[in-house]
């Protein structure tokens, strides 16, 4: 369970609630057990009071040796188990062996309607005791019969019970926490399957989100599929509209060119020159619209290593006086998540510029780099040409900017590269190269290693 995940949140919320609930349960059980033992002690003491009362009524003499209790705890000194019979003046008429040499303290509590009163007190040894006392009338005399039992023993039992209860509840809590983690993990498995299905679409292994999901997240899978379908329709419609517009402009431009060709006036030369520019612009932007539509299709991937090998071979033929050193990466390099033609368009324009401006030396490297959202594909192209200043490097990345109008070319190649980089969510940086010229760093999203998908050559 990763930090910040739903499973981790559910686990920690469940674990926190379990701790609170089990601790409260432990204290509640301990309190109930303590009360039950105290109630049992009180009932036992009342029974002993009744036994002494019966013996007193039977003999009529509070000093009779036959008045006794068979519980051996009343014979053990400092046990906390005492009994005594006193007259109405407080004189001691009879007592247990355990009470010899000491006395029972007077009870501060008032008697109930049955003439019985009880209280918790300490004896002279510091033992906590519960005392139950009852007034009994024999003939013309009234006697008070008091019996006490040790509460310290009960508190020790309660302490032992509390320790054992928390051990048991701790074990129960651990099992419930494990069960909570298992339940959270299994309950959230459909979300993991949905994530894998969406990733499969993104990686090009599937065209739609497939699988069976619970009713809570099944609508999400349906909405993703509907979004994919709607996106494809919008892209296709936009591409058709741009194509129709471009083809619609070709005919008027061709008419202007034909009319201007047959006319030798100055106005005709201007019309011919501007119509050539319009034709170039229409063709260029039609191609850019086609590229933008193609890059928006989900699920394509291509082998960057093979593309760069092919491009370097072509550039070596076009620029025989330029040495292009391509350091081939190992087989673990991830693929480019996008169309093969788009990577050729971007890398080809950048490599062409490097060869055009270099003094005969160009270096090319493909790397895998760790980014904020995972691995990214890094293409580094550097040359030993004049390079660019920091200000010019920022300026040339603006749309439609050319630093040298005299150099052959429309200047739209770098614009197309920047547009494709934006479409793929990548980045393009220009800086000083170690060779002395310009270093271009192109970062693009990666896909899992694998075979070619539909539509790839």
**Banded pLDDT at 316 (limits 50, 70, 90):** very high
State in Å, rounded, how far the first CA of the chain is from the last one. Answer: 41
Q: Which of 177-191, 290-304, 417-431, 435-449 shows the lowest mean pLDDT across its residues?
A: 290-304
Cα distance between residue 131 and residue 160, in whole Å: 24
State yes or no: pLDDT of 204 exceeds 70. no
Q: How would you label 377-397 residue by residue, b for 16+ Cβ within 10 Å and e otherwise?
A: bbbbbbbbbebbeeeebeebb
CA–CA dist 210, 48 (Å, integer): 79
Kindly state the percentage of the chain with pLDDT values over 90. Answer: 22
Average per-residue pLDDT in the chain? 82
* Confidence bin at 454 (pLDDT 50/70/90): very low
pLDDT score of 311 more than 60:
yes
Of the candidates 378, 353, 381, 383, the one whose C-alpha atom is nearest the C-alpha of residue 368 is: 378
How confident is the model over 48-58, as pLDDT tens digits? Answer: 999 998 988 88
The answer to whether the beta carbons of residues 396 and 429 sit under 8 Å apart is no
Q: Would you place residue 299 in the very low, low, confident or very high pLDDT band (cuts 50, 70, 90)? A: low
Other CB atoms within 10 Å distance of the CB of residue 85: 21
What would you measure as the largest C-alpha separation in the chain, in angstroms? 154
pLDDT at residue 450 is higher than 60: no
CA-angle at 308, arms to 303 and 309, nearest 5°: 100
CA gap 161, 241 in Å, rounded: 82
Of 405 and 211, more confident: 211
Distance, in Å, from the CA atom of 449 to the CA atom of 456, rounded to the nearest integer, reads 15
pLDDT reported for residue 453: 37
Q: What is the pLDDT of residues 393-428, one digit of tens each?
A: 877 776 555 545 444 444 456 777 888 888 888 899
Closest CA to 347 of 420, 241, 251: 420
The answer to whether the predicted template modeling score (pTM) of the entire model surpasses 0.75 is no
Q: Mean pLDDT throughout 376-390?
A: 89
Q: State residue 244's pLDDT score.
A: 76
Question: pLDDT at residue 175 above 80?
Answer: yes
Q: How far is CA 42 from the centre of its chain?
A: 56
Mean pLDDT of 223-232: 81
Average pLDDT of the residues in 182-206: 79
State the Cα–Cα distance between residues 422 and 399, nearest whole angstrom. Answer: 12
DSSP 99: G
Please give the average per-residue pLDDT across 78-88, as a whole number: 88
pLDDT for the residue numbered 274: 80
């Amino acid at each position: 369970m990763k930090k910040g995940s739903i499973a981790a949140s559910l686990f920690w919320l469940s674990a926190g609630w379990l701790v609170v609930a089990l601790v409260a349960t432990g204290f509640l059980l301990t309190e109930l057990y303590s009360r039950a033992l105290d109630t049992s002690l009180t009932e036992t003491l009342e029974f002993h009071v009744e036994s002494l009362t019966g013996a007193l009524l039977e003999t009529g003499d509070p000093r009779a040796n036959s008045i006794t209790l068979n519980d051996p705890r009343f014979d053990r000194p400092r046990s906390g188990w005492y009994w005594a019979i006193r007259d109405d003046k407080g004189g001691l008429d009879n007592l247990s062996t355990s009470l010899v040499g000491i006395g029972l303290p007077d009870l501060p509590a008032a008697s109930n309607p049955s003439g019985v009163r009880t209280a918790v007190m300490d004896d002279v040894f510091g033992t906590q005791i519960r005392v139950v006392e009852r007034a009994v009338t024999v003939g013309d005399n009234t006697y008070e019969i008091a019996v006490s039992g040790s509460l310290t023993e009960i508190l020790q039992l309660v302490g032992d019970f509390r320790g054992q209860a928390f051990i048991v509840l701790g074990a129960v809590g651990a099992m419930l926490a494990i069960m909570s983690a298992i339940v959270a993990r299994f309950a959230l498995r459909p979300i993991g399957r949905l994530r894998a299905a969406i990733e499969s679409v993104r990686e090009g292994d599937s065209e739609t989100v497939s699988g069976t999901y619970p009713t809570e997240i099944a609508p999400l899978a349906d909405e993703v599929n509907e979004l994919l379908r709607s996106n494809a329709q919008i892209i296709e419609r936009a591409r058709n509209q741009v194509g129709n517009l471009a083809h619609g402009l070709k005919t008027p431009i061709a008419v202007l060119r034909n009319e201007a060709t047959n006319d030798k006036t100055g106005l005709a030369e201007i019309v011919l020159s501007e119509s050539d520019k319009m034709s170039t612009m229409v063709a260029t932007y039609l191609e850019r619209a086609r590229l933008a539509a193609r890059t928006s299709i989900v699920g394509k991937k291509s082998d960057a290593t093979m593309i760069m090998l092919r491009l370097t071979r072509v550039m070596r033929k076009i620029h025989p006086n330029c040495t292009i050193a391509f350091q081939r990466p190992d087989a673990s390099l991830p693929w480019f998540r996008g169309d093969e033609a788009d990577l050729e368009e971007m890398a080809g324009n950048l490599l062409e510029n490097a060869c055009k401006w270099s003094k005969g030396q160009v270096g090319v490297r493909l790397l895998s780099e760790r980014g904020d959202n995972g691995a990214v594909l890094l293409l580094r192209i550097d040359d030993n040409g004049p390079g660019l200043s920091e200000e010019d490097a920022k300026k040339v990345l603006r749309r439609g900017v050319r630093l040298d109008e005299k150099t052959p070319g429309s200047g739209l190649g770098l614009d197309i590269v920047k547009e494709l980089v934006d479409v793929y969510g990548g980045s393009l940086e220009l800086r000083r190269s170690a060779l002395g010229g310009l270093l271009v760093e192109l970062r693009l999203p990666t896909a899992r290693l694998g075979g070619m998908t539909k539509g790839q050559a």
